[in-house]
Amino acid sequence: MSRFEAVIDTNEFYAGLRSQLGASHRLLRGIGHNTAFQIHLSVPLVLEYEEIARRHARTLGLNYQDIDDILDYLCSVAGLHEVFYMWRPFLPDPDDDMLLELAVEAECNRLITFNLKDFAGADQFGVKAVGPSEFLHEIGVLP
């Protein structure tokens, strides 16, 4: 099994915080503990994670300190990157271009998302968009 370098879409981050039952939660719990993959972050992505988590803090059962602690942890174990180039628009949703640019900059081979169709064409850059269950299967967490 080779090591995967990955970017996690905001919808995965939110789903992992929202429910402890799904693949997204298992994915989040493996960050920094599963040596089969490394996540990568940029300032814009962390800010997007923060915005969505704070907006839904009550629903998630988290307070702002909890959210800050989660984000601090992610930043401490992730590869951190500055993205200096933009070729937008490339994807149908301009907000998704930020994720693809990070994945290319970080030389990631996986972008984990529920919105697979939104990342059509990412493979041109060597990035495969996969759902959380498929990714967990690839790294041997799910059969």
pLDDT at 85 > cutoff 70 = no
Q: CA quadruple 40, 102, 96, 143: dihedral positive or negative?
A: negative
CA atoms of 20 and 89, how far apart (whole Å): 35
Would you say 67 and 36 are in contact if contact means Cβ atoms under 8 Å apart?
no
Fold entry, domain 4-138: Rossmann fold (3.40.50)
Average pLDDT of the residues in 41-66: 97
User: Which of 26-40, 75-89, 99-113 bottoms out in mean pLDDT, i.e. has the lowest?
Assistant: 75-89
**CB neighbourhood size of 44 (10 A):** 15
Q: Domain segments of the chain: what residues? A: 4-138
Give the H/E segment covering residue 100.
Answer: helix 94-105
Q: What is the pLDDT of residue 94?
A: 76
DSSP character for 3? P
Output the pTM of the full model.
0.94
- CB hemisphere CA count around 108 (13 angstroms): 31
Is it true that the peptide bond before 89 is cis, omega within 30 degrees of 0?
Answer: yes
